[in-house]
Amino acid sequence: MNVSPKFFGASAPVAYGGKDAKSPLAFRWYDKDRVVRGRRLEDHLRFAVCYWHSFCWPGGDPFGGETFLRPWHRGTDMMALARAKADIAFELFRLLDVPFFTFHDVDVAPEGASLAESVANLNAIADLFEQKMASSKVRLLWGTANLFTHRRYMAGAATNPDPDIFTYAAGQVRAALEVTHRLGGQNYVLWGGREGYETLLNTDIKRELDQLGRFVSLVVEHKHKIGFKGPILIEPKPKEPTKHQYDFDVATCYGFLQRYDLLKDVKLNIEQNHAILAGHSFQHEIALAQALGVFGSLDINRGDDLLGWDTDQFAMNVPELALAFHDILKAGGFTTGGLNFDAKIRRQSIDPDDLIHAHVGSMDACARAFLAAADMLDAEALTMPIAERYAGWADAEGRAILAGQRSLADLANRALAPGFDPQPRSGRQEYLESLVNRYV
């Protein structure tokens, strides 16, 4: 097996060339050093390349196998292949000049014959990552453990009917959390891959929720024990792989965190395609997470409106992204979170440089949307009409109602007074929609 250092056609990092750049591989909007609202674009957007879609997925679908034929998927020395894959991954991070990456344990290191062997493999690759990170500027946005691919997890990890599977999952998460900590990870993610059910004929929902609550609590306790400062992020998704997932959407996750007293340590990693599958918009999930104080990070991608599954395409829709970023920026921007490309190229995109084009195109779409969002905020284009719409609540009577200084009878008596006749006002939706279009 020989992975040529010239795997990609490009060899110089993609540079900002402005809107009229001639090169097909240039940033047209993502000028990483441009300062917007007091921060460089790179520090606002905090882009991360994910390992699993970009370097592990071979291009298969339910009807056909691998199309990409990656050189690091051919051979028998699994650790050598993992090292070759890491070389290519860090080469892509360099070419894209991204500040972060993300991975699952099994993306980066082969599973061994026992958990002990898997953990040793993971730690050996983490040693390699430490060296590579020391000689590059890329950092770890988050790490996670894959608790859904192996057949042992077919009936769930934390929610498995067998406590020994729960225990195995705990062993995997301890190792992944500690490696994330060692590599300076800013968050740790728990996506409930198979924490759900296929049929209630064999499922005890209350028991499984209690198991999941216990599992997340154990992770939080361990995070404090080892001094990991970042938040634990759970990732809402309503279905796929199971028919019903316990972390259905933001509202469901909030209820879960509240019930198991986890709101202090756990926030949410929100993904566009998952929002769509739950019957919400991306902006809805972000706005609700902000309102409930559980917003953490974003898996940035795009579902297909005509397909009912998680297509994980690269996000390219500027108006949609602009509204999402508007709400994030309004609340002060990312803290530990960022924009993780949980996105995969289509299986016909078999040229190595398709990986570069996909990321560059989506980074540009995000940057363009972000600049539009910042302009909307600066002009108070959406915040002012909303403030005006609710202005009555800032008056003395509105404040008194919310402060609990009016009873139902007080309100009724006021409403019954002669001449009390409040009038409805326009919601001005079309005006607001056309206003947004001035910016995007």
Residues that bind ligand XUL (CB under 6 A): 104, 144, 189, 191, 235, 237, 271, 299, 310, 342
Is 150 annotated as catalytic? Answer: no
Centre a 10 Å sphere on the Cβ of residue 174 and count the other Cβ atoms it contains.
Answer: 16
Give Cα 242 distance to the centre of its chain. 20
Which of 178, 247, 342, 364 is in the footprint of Co ion by CB under 5 A?
342
Residue found under tokens 């770890």: 140
Task: Please say which residue, 141 or 376, places its beta carbon nearer to Co ion.
Answer: 141
Q: How far is the CB of 301 from Co ion (least distance, A)?
A: 8
Shortest Å distance, C-beta 75 to ligand XUL: 25
Enclosing H/E stretch for 270: strand 266-271
Nearer to ligand XUL, 54 or 144 (CB): 144
Q: What letters, b where the CB count within 10 A reaches 16 and e where it falls short, cover 89-98?
A: bbbbbbbbbb
Closest CB to ligand XUL among residues 104, 222 = 104
Residue 223, C-beta contacts closer than 8 angstroms, at least 6 positions apart: 177, 188, 232, 265
Q: How far apart are CA 154 and CA 161, in angstroms?
A: 11
Distance CA 222, CA 101 (A): 23
Q: Collapse the DSSP code of 390 into the 3-class scheme (helix H, G, I; strand E, B; otherwise coil) and give the result.
A: coil
**β-bridge partners, 188:** 143, 232
CA 366 to chain centre: 14
Tell me how far, at minimum, the Cβ of 247 lies from ligand XUL, in Å.
Answer: 11
Q: Does 327 bind Co ion (CB under 5 A)?
A: no
Which CB atom, from 45 or from 176, has the smaller least distance to ligand XUL?
176
299 annotated binding-site participant: yes
User: Segment near Co ion (CB under 5 A), from 26-34, 252-260, 298-306, 349-357?
Assistant: 298-306
Q: Which pairing describes strands 187-190 and 39-40: parallel, antiparallel, or unpaired?
A: unpaired
**Cα 438–Cα 439–Cα 440 angle in degrees, nearest 5:** 105
| Site track for Co ion across 255-294, x = CB under 5 A | ----------------x-----------------------
261 is in an annotated binding site: no
Q: Which of 31, 97, 105, 107 is catalytic?
A: 107
The count of C-alpha atoms lying within 13 angstroms of the C-alpha of 248, restricted to the half-sphere facing its C-beta, is: 13
Nearer to ligand XUL by Cβ, of 250 and 440: the residue is 250
How many C-beta atoms surround the C-beta of residue 107 within 10 A? 22
Q: For residue 235, say whether it is annotated as part of any ligand binding site.
A: yes
Residue with smaller CB distance to Co ion, 195 or 271: 271
Q: Which of 31, 44, 53, 104 is catalytic?
A: 104
C-alpha angle 405-410-412 in degrees, rounded to nearest 5:
135
**Three-state secondary structure call for residue 233:** strand
Cβ of residue 429: shortest distance to Co ion, in angstroms? 31
Nearest approach, Cβ of residue 312 and ligand XUL (Å): 7
Is 33 labeled as ligand-binding? no
* Torsion over CA: 247, 249, 250, 252 (sign): negative
Residue 93 to residues 88, 110, 224, 403, Cα–Cα distance (Å): 9, 21, 31, 52
Would you say 378 is a known binding-site residue?
no
Residue 237 interacts, among ligand XUL, Co ion, none and using kind-specific CB cut-offs from 5 to 8 Å, with: ligand XUL
Name the binder of 105 from Co ion, ligand XUL, none, CB < 5-8 A by kind. Answer: none
Interaction between residue 299 and Co ion (CB under 5 A): yes
User: Among Co ion, ligand XUL, none, what does residue 144 contact (CB within 5–8 Å per kind)?
Assistant: ligand XUL
Cα distances (angstroms) measured from residue 311 to each of 118, 227, 308, 424: 29, 37, 9, 42
* Rounded Cα gap, residues 253 and 271, in angstroms: 13
Whose Cβ is closer to ligand XUL: residue 10's or residue 156's?
156
164 marked as binding residue = no
Instruction: Clarify whether 87 is annotated catalytic.
Output: no
Closest residue to bound ligand XUL by CB? 191
285 is in an annotated binding site: no
- Least separation in angstroms between residue 166's CB and ligand XUL is 18
* Residue 310, binding choice from Co ion, ligand XUL, none, Cβ under 5 to 8 Å by partner class: ligand XUL
Pairwise CA distance, residues 381 & 189, whole Å: 35
Residues making up the annotated binding site for Mg(2+) are 235, 271, 274, 299, 310, 312, 342
Residues making up the annotated binding site are 235, 271, 274, 299, 310, 312, 342
Residues with a known catalytic role: 104, 107
List residues near Co ion by CB under 5 A: 271, 299, 342
